[in-house]
Amino acid sequence: MQTSVVIMAGGKGERFWPKSRLNMPKQFLSLTGDGKTMLQLTAERALELADIDKIFIVTNRMYKDLVLSQLPDLPPDNVLCEPYARNTAPCAAFAASIAEKKIGESVMTVMPSDHLVKDTQRFTDIMKNAASAALPGVNIVTVGIVPEYPETGYGYINFEKDALFNGCHKVIRFVEKPDAASAEEYIRDGRYLWNSGIFVWKTSLILDKFRELMPDVYGRCVRIGEAYGSDAFDGILAREFEAMPSESIDYGIMEKTENILTIPADFGWNDVGSWLALEKVNKCDGHNNMIQGNCVGIDISNCTIVGSDRLIAAVGLRNVVIVDTDDALLICDKNHTQDVKKIVSELKKNNKKQYL
């Protein structure tokens, strides 16, 4: 059975403003200091799981050229352009429909474009085990990250203790972002994993699930798939996509389905959810400062500084994130990194489009 990979690259990455902008969102940025963008790193991991012509990037059409410039070996047709952002459920159904049309049935891995993985060999091994568990076409396999601490910002996956095969366990339930006490309980319990948003399924199985659980989305994606390759495609794609509900695959499919397995994963995962992630994925100095660019620090600790040529002088700071770009500068207390989105909202409200 052939394998395919779908990389979801349509996000806006607003929590990474001011580096992440409307015309250059987070997944197209290099945040790790190795010069490779998150999309490029994700594509490298995907290439261990599928051939390049079976790797699909789903994104907004405004990013098609950006994707192809960052992944020059990718067949241009493999960039699947969403005319509207409708969250992960329509995205997955769309990708599965087009992939079936183009390459026929496959064991498909779906993953976000903006996560980081430290141990890529371990990632490959685990994902191959997940694919083998998905191959019979009976189970969807979701990747669960072995939790490192009681994070309250992630959803959790509760699983049965004994593995069924290839390290995969039956999922008992998906749990929404917990409060602190519940998160600690989950860690103690040991049968909870972080929900990574990485899935493996046989395309025939996931399309069956859509037909059963989201028949409207299914019907529209069938019509999109039928039009693929014809002159009518763009018009049908736009019309059908606009009409689809904005829904996550977790809520629309996973939480309503039996036959879901999870594979506990410990490959050094980071979802790079806010500027706080940078101190975990990059090298810090002896005072836990993560510093990029031209910087002079006097008595600073626990600071994350992302600069460039312009000199940044930081004095006496603790727990501060500083991100400097040509036209905009962010200075944010580390306890408020989720509020960076509020800056973006404020800029929209005040019609300061040049900074979006």
How many chain residues touch a copy of itself (CB under 8 A)? 36
Q: Give the DSSP H or E segment for 261.
A: strand 260-265
Give me the helices (H) in 172-275, please: 180-189, 203-213, 215-227, 233-243, 249-252
- Check binding of 222 to a copy of itself (CB under 8 A): no
Minimum distance of a copy of itself from residue 287's CB (angstroms): 14
Residue 316 makes contact with a copy of itself by CB under 8 A: yes
Sorted by sequence, the CB contacts under 8 Å of residue 142 that are 6+ apart come out as: 157, 171, 195, 196, 198, 199, 200, 254, 260, 261, 262, 263
Nearest to 25 by CA among 76, 51, 60, 77: 60
Would you give the binding string for a copy of itself spanning residues 317-336, x where CB under 8 A is met?
xx-x-x-x--xxxxxxx-xx
Rounded Cα–Cα distance for residues 102 and 253 (Å): 24
Query: Is 244 near a copy of itself (CB under 8 A)?
Result: no
Cβ of residue 290: shortest distance to a copy of itself, in angstroms? 15
The CB-of-312 to a copy of itself minimum distance in angstroms stands at 5
DSSP state of 334: G
Name the minimum Å distance from CB 356 to a copy of itself.
11
- Give CA separation, 16 vs 26, 233, 278, in Å: 6, 34, 11
Q: Does residue 306 interact with a copy of itself by CB under 8 A? A: no
Closest CA to 292 of 30, 17, 11: 30
Binding mask 261-300 for a copy of itself (x = CB under 8 A): -----------------------------------x-xx-
Question: Does the footprint of a copy of itself cover residue 153 (CB under 8 A)?
Answer: no
Contact 78, 47 (CB under 8 A): no
Residue 22, interface with a copy of itself (CB under 8 A)?
Answer: no
Q: Which is nearer to a copy of itself, 71 or 321 (CB)?
A: 321
- 151 lines the binding site for a copy of itself (CB under 8 A): no
Tell me the C-alpha to C-alpha distance, in Å, between residue 203 and each of 2, 23, 147, 169: 11, 32, 29, 21
Is residue 34 a contact point for a copy of itself (CB under 8 A)?
no
Q: In terms of CB distance, is 251 or 355 closer to a copy of itself?
A: 355
Q: From residue 31, how far is each of 7, 8, 139, 289 by CA, in Å?
A: 18, 18, 35, 15
Q: Is 312 in the site for a copy of itself (CB under 8 A)?
A: yes
Shortest Cβ distance from residue 278 to a copy of itself (Å)? 16
Query: What is the binding site for a copy of itself (CB under 8 A)?
Result: 17-18, 296, 298-299, 310-318, 320, 322, 324, 327-333, 335-337, 339-340, 342-343, 346-347, 350, 352, 355
